[in-house]
Amino acid sequence: MSRPSLVELDAVLAIVRRGSFRGAALELEMSTTALSNAIGKLERQLGVRLFHRTTRSVSLTDAGRNFVGQVGPAMQDIHDAIHAAQSQQETPSGTLRINAFATAAREILSPLIFEFLRAYPQVHIDLVTEGRLVDVVAEGFDFGIRAGDLVPSDMIALPLGPPRRNVVVASPAYFQAHGKPLVPPDLLRHACLKVRLPNGAPYRWQFAKDGQSLQIDVVGPITLDEASLSRRAALAGIGICYTMESEVKEDVEAGRLEAVLEDWTPPLAPLSLYYPGRRHPSAAFKAFVDLARAFSKRSGGRR
């Protein structure tokens, strides 16, 4: 009788982490058909069903919960042993998985990730961008990148660069036609480009000045679920955009967009790379942390 492989056991745990076969297949870089076949093979070997599956949901059976409860810690021990062996490598190799929100990924892609890949061509970076906050350990990531004030307290955090800020911008043509807001409440009389949060709620624009904080639930002609798209709409003269300064810095400098309410958008926490402590970090993991520390020093971050 054949025995379950590590691939099949990892597949079970990935489905539990992701809550779906599709999400697990993406994480494991395999097709959903191959993943389903692997789980079917494992279930036949065990003689029990591990998952209840419908077209809309997947959940563990009682046997599946017992199996995962025993296999999960054992697989962690196995992967720890693998990491311990990999830590003896002199040349960084393998895959590093990084979770970040999209704006953060764009900010660090060229100065950090591309530089790392040029220095260590045997390492593969799996970069996942999403708006929701995730448990990087539970979902199988090596690193997370978020604003420093959102990093979980049990993680090691490394600031990446100086503080950031939001800006309010629109095209010169828009301001010429509609005038400029002088205080945040003036935005309620303008066409604003709304953004939807990952949980589906509309994002309220945040302002602060002289100890006073305001949240403005703006109105406008369009709602977007990716903040970077609001830049495109602002350039087209559709309305006023609220976004990270890094997203529109070149447009403002070139005169394609104009910033307003700058005294109402104070600095925000810098980006941070964060990760759990590891007893046996791989050569690739250590090399990425070292490069991130060097990048932090160059760009004004503090340890």
- Of 117-131, 185-199, 288-302, give the lowest mean pLDDT range: 288-302
Q: For the segment 238-273, what is each residue's pLDDT rounded down to a tens digit?
A: 999 999 998 899 999 999 999 999 999 988 888 999
Q: Which domain holds residue 39?
A: 6-86
Judge whether residue 4 has pLDDT over 80: no
With 0.85 as the threshold, say if the pTM is over it: no
Judge whether residue 298 has pLDDT over 50: yes
Same domain, 159 and 275: yes
Q: What is the CATH number of the domain that holds 37?
A: 1.10.10.10
Same domain, 224 and 170: yes
Q: For the segment 140-151, what is each residue's pLDDT rounded down to a tens digit?
A: 899 999 988 888
Q: For the segment 146-171, what is each residue's pLDDT rounded down to a tens digit?
A: 988 888 888 999 998 888 899 999 99
Structure-block tokens of residue 289: 């942390």
Return the pLDDT at 35: 87
Same domain, 148 and 177: no
Judge whether residue 302 has pLDDT over 50: no
Could you give the number of structural domains in the chain?
A: 3
Judge whether residue 125 has pLDDT over 90: yes
Q: Which of 32, 61, 86 represents a domain boundary (last residue)?
A: 86
Cβ-defined contacts of 214-217 (< 8 Å, 24+): 214/184, 214/185, 214/264, 216/184, 216/185, 216/187, 216/188
DSSP state of 280: S
